[in-house]
Amino acid sequence: VSMGRTLVELFYDVISPYSWLGFEVLCRYQHIWNIDLRLRPALLGGIMQQTGNKPPAMLPKRAEYMLKDIKRMAKYYQVPVHISGGDFQRIFATSSLAAMRFITAIDMMNQQYLEPLSRQFWLRFWSQCEDISQPENILAVAQQAGLSGELSQKALEMISSPTVKDRLKETTAEAIKYGAFGMPAVVAHYDGEPHLFFGSDRLELLGSVIGE
């Protein structure tokens, strides 16, 4: 981390639409604010399980609100999230474990692809409403993100390795240690301490805390 730049960590999972919104805004602001953005792929399911949190959409009134809220935020931030009532079932029926392990493997091997790869997973799941859980889906996403066939194959083989599994578990545990109970979890390291911001609608507060 270069002198005087604030390290900002974004803990995210591609199954989370709010994570996509937070990701895109932070990716834009990393060139405007004096920050070093560090993308931290983690597992939302693990965070929910370990903190006893429940998916917000399980509460019908909250699900109703979320539909409108995500649509408004998508329009405001110009991020192509497409969401309809049926999508909550789709999320509950989809595991992001393989995708997040694949992203973790790329994070360990070739970090330059982390941002485009993560974006393509969100685009496939949240814009094109297609599956991301099967190996062929994952390889299609990797190709869209510009990864070579060789790198993709290697990362796909790595998702069953203890190294990658442990790294994803550790990152998830780290998010929880900072106080995360859902995603996105944004942690700004400022004035010698970590500041946790939950969700994609607290970014002006983040700016204010770090003097931006």
| CATH number of the domain enclosing 15 | 3.40.30.10
Q: How many domains does the chain have?
A: 1
| 37 part of a folded domain | yes
Beta bridge partners of 136: none
Specify if 126 maps to a domain.
yes
Do the domain assignments include residue 47? yes
pLDDT at 1 over 60: no
Where in the sequence numbering do the catalytic residues fall?
16
Per the domain annotation, does 158 fall within a domain?
Answer: yes
Instruction: Residue 75: give the domain boundaries.
Output: 8-20+32-206
- Measured in Å, how far apart are the chain's first and last C-alpha atoms? 18
Q: Is 79 helix (H, G, I), strand (E, B) or coil?
A: coil
Residue 3 lies in a domain: no
- pTM summary value: 0.95
pLDDT higher than 60, residue 137: yes
**C-alpha dist (Å) from residue 138 to 25, 47, 73, 125:** 24, 23, 27, 11
Q: Considering the chain, what is the average pLDDT of its residues?
A: 94
CB 19 within 8 A of CB 100: no
The confidence band for 3, taking pLDDT boundaries of 50, 70 and 90, is low
